[in-house]
Chain A
Amino acid sequence: MDNKRRKILKIAAATAAVSFTGLPIETFASYLPKIGKYVRSDKEKKAKQWGMVIDTRKFKTKEDFERVIKACHSIHNVPEDIPNKKQEIKWIWEEEFSHAFPDQENPFLAERYEHKDVIVLCNHCQHPPCVRVCPTKATFKREDGIVMMDFHRCIGCRYCMAACPYGSRSFNFRDPAPFVKHKNPKFPTRMRGVVEKCLFCYERLEEGKLPACVEASNGAIIFGDIFDPNSEISKVLRENYTIVRKPELGTGPCVFYII
């Protein structure tokens, strides 16, 4: 009996030894718990509250809009051409002035303004209602003011979509993968059943870059810290008459428009 057990153990040990030799040491190391710490890059851009000024005067042709939208969608794995229009995913898109600013409605508004297209995206509000209602903190406000999404914590209750007065949030009603035309392996993909939206290119800010739409806009979108009086955006805000979407709701939108 004992003999038998020793034999089996011997065979087992020999098999293990044979199969393990040749495997790199990293293979075993990968089973150990990793205690890592996120190290902020020195290149990272910092702010108290990121904000954006959209100079709608500089968006003249269809191409101006498409370039900006494409710059965003192509790097963020945003699905395009979902067959059911009602269930589309939108991060940044164009909307008619009268729809983007319904409270500015005025029957005598000059036609060139009424049907003027403007770029809309998440406003990264100072007091975001979506963050207030989220039951799992899957959406939260970062120190730099970005309204962030954790795609892996979201339970898909869509309360944030009911709370957002700007229609900035989209829900993955289906698996988005088949509709992602430009796959970017560096940015998280989403699965069905979670909410997503514009994240102000937090991943580019970490690398010291400006958001993709800003870069592609040829100066039509100005990005920066709205609480830093020396920033370019603060200068633009001081010098121009700007409006925000639905200011009466007290959300404190950080995307400003020059009409």
Chain B
Amino acid sequence: MLEKIFYGDKKYWSWVIFLLILIGIGSIAYITQLKKGLMVTGMGRDVSWGFYIAQFTYFVGVAASAVMVVIPLYLHNYKKFEQIVTFAEFMAVASVIICICFILVDLGQPQRLFNMILHPTPNSILFYDMIVLNGYLLLNILISWNNLHADYRRVPHPKWTKVLAYISIPWAVSIHTVTAFLYQGLPGRHYWLSAILAARFLSSAFCSGPAILVLLLLILKKVTKFDPGKEAIHTLAKIITYAMCINVFLFLTEVFTSFYSNIPGHKATFIYLFKGLHGHGNLVGWMWVMVACAIACLIILIPSKFRNNPELLVVGLILLIVATWIDKGLGLVVGGFIPNPFEKVVEYCPTGYELLISMMVYSIGLLILTLLWKIGVGVKRELGIIPK
């Protein structure tokens, strides 16, 4: 089955080589970072986590979202998702690898990483994050690979992968809950110290992840003629819409609590993000773009007439991804550090090195996704699901 990655047309190979070049460029930046230390980043003693950890957080969500395909299929026997479930699980695999890579590039002493296993510390949430992320990676590899292999050999799926699929449902919830717990259990970081952070993470994951999946499936349809099915896309779009509504609702409840209670610490980050604080407002523009995108995507996604229009759906999903990415991949982590423990504003801006290294990690994820999907497409083509 693995051999399928070696048989592709010119387009496929140019795409793979293009990704390899990006990885190569990024790894030069990473080697520099390894040599010089994290001084090449824009982080500092006040904003001590930046772009890397923010991207990590966003992609934990994307990984968890595979469950939005798994639940309807396995719990509700929604057969329309049968053909796309492998692609969703492969996307989860690539996303978890992106997450792990972002953690790795963020470490000051990556060669000491295994101290986490040599000296396991169950009072640290990072310990659990390590377990759930790696467990989720393993689960998805086992399920997707074995099911696809059964298809490849034209035998029914083994029963044990079904058991693992059931386990993967609460496990997907756990990865994003634990990731939220990394933040929401810290005293003195008001923007994070909120019981609904985990719920917010899950809701934003369950809209942004499937949105990325739908866009990728539509690209796949163009490139390989694999048809995910009109109804499958419509159902996913519906799930995305509900999740986005909940996400916006939860965000607004945070705004209400902060401003109605009038507690300065709770308001400070919101003011910094949306208006600027003490004359600093690097993220103000971004946050209002987020608001605009969130409103626009809901206008497109809520009425079924707009949502079921293929072109409008794509626009709506792109807007949704932009909105959720600014919220979680930019504002949440950086905003949590502003103002700092001294109520001062020290801003953060990623450097070119950080962006190049992030590009490397994204490209690694995309390359893994490309290879896995290539295998999936190859098998489905053999089975006649995709016209030759």
Q: Please report the C-alpha to C-alpha distance between residue A129 and residue B184 in the assembled complex, in whole angstroms.
A: 13
Q: Are A100 and B342 in contact (CB under 8 A)?
A: yes
CB distance from A163 to the nearest CB of B (A): 5
Interface flags, B116-137, vs A, CB<8A=1, else 0: 1011010111110010000000
Mask of A120-152 contacts with B, CB within 8 angstroms, 1/0: 000000000100111111100000000000000
Whether the Cβ atoms of B341 and A87 lie closer than 8 Å is no
What number of A residues sit within 8 Å (CB to CB) of B? 48
B187 touches A135 (CB 8 A): no
Instruction: Kindly state whether residue B167 has any CB partner on chain A within 8 Å.
Output: no
**Cβ contacts under 8 Å, A86 to chain B:** 43-47, 346
Q: Which residues of A contact B182 (CB under 8 A)?
A: 159
Q: State the main secondary structure of chain B at its contact with A.
A: loop
In the complex, how many angstroms separate the beta carbon of B268 from the nearest chain A beta carbon? Answer: 10
| Complex Cα spacing A185 to B123, Å | 35
Interface pair B337/A87, CB less than 8 Å apart: no
Determine which of B39, B116, B125 lies in contact with A136 in the assembled complex, contact meaning CB atoms within 8 Å.
B116
| CB atoms of A171 and B126 under 8 A apart | no
Please indicate the chain B residues that have their CB under 8 angstroms from the CB of A135 in the complex: 116, 121, 124, 126-127, 130
| Complex Cα spacing A169 to B342, Å | 13
In the complex, the answer to whether A175 meets B109 with C-beta atoms within 8 Å is: no
Q: Does A219 contact B (CB under 8 A)?
A: no
* Cα(A249)–Cα(B340), bound, Å: 15
Q: Does A155 contact B (CB under 8 A)?
A: yes
A-facing mask of B180-207, CB < 8 A → 1, else 0?
Answer: 0011001111000000000000000000
Q: With A and B bound together, what is the CA distance between A91 and B66 in angstroms? A: 46
Looking at A86, A169, A194, the one whose CB has the most chain B CB atoms below 10 A away is A86
Q: Cα distance A138–B186 when bound, in Å?
A: 18
Residues from chain A with Cβ under 8 Å of B110 in the complex:
155-156
Chain A interface main SS type: loop
- The reply to whether the CB of B154 lies closer than 8 angstroms to some CB of chain A is no
Give CA–CA (A99, B342) in the complex, Å: 5
Known: A86-B46, A99-B342, A135-B127. A173 touches B186 (CB 8 A): no
Contact partners of B150 in chain A: CB under 8 A? none
CB-contact partner of B124 in A88, A99, A134, A170, under 8 A = A134
Q: Does B38 sit within 8 A of A, measured CB to CB?
A: yes
Q: Is A209 at the interface (CB under 8 A from chain B)?
A: no
Interchain Cβ contacts within 8 Å, total number: 145
A76 interface residue per 8 A CB criterion: no
Min C-beta distance of B135 to chain A, whole Å: 16
Interface: A154 (CB within 8 A): yes
A153 contacts B112, C-beta separation under 8 Å: yes
* Contact, CB under 8 Å: A170 / B45: yes
How many angstroms between the C-alpha atoms of A132 and B121 in the bound complex? 9
Is A84 within 8 A of B44, CB to CB? Answer: yes
Q: Is B11 an interface residue (CB 8 A)?
A: no
- Evaluate contact between A171 and B48: CB separation under 8 angstroms: yes
CB-nearest residue of chain A relative to B123? A132
> Are B107 and A155 interface neighbours, CB within 8 A?
yes
Q: Is A80 an interface residue (CB 8 A)?
A: no
Check B113 for interface membership: any CB of A closer than 8 A.
yes
Q: Which of B287-327 contact A (CB under 8 A)?
A: none
Q: Which residues of A contact B112 (CB under 8 A)?
A: 136, 153-156
How long is the Cα–Cα vector from A182 to B116 in the complex, in angstroms?
Answer: 34
Identify B116's interface contact among A133, A155, A161, A174, CB under 8 A: A155
Residue of B nearest to A156 (CB): B108
B49–A193 CB distance below 8 A: no
Q: Which A residues are CB-close (under 8 A) to B336?
A: 162
What would be 21 A-B contacts, judged by CB atoms less than 8 Å apart? A88-B45, A90-B45, A135-B116, A135-B121, A136-B115, A154-B109, A155-B113, A155-B116, A156-B108, A156-B110, A159-B126, A163-B187, A166-B341, A167-B341, A174-B39, A175-B37, A192-B108, A193-B37, A249-B187, A249-B188, A251-B187
Known A-B contacts: A135-B130, A136-B112. Give 13 more (CB < 8 A).
A86-B44, A86-B346, A136-B116, A136-B118, A136-B121, A153-B119, A155-B107, A162-B48, A163-B186, A164-B188, A165-B188, A192-B36, A194-B109
User: What residues make up the interface of B, taking CB atoms closer than 8 Å to A?
Assistant: 36-39, 41, 43-49, 103, 106-110, 112-113, 115-116, 118-119, 121, 123-127, 130, 182-183, 186-189, 264, 336-337, 340-344, 346
Which residues on A are within 8 Å of B, measured CB to CB? 84, 86-88, 90, 95, 98-100, 102, 105, 129, 132-138, 153-159, 161-167, 169-175, 192-195, 246, 249-251
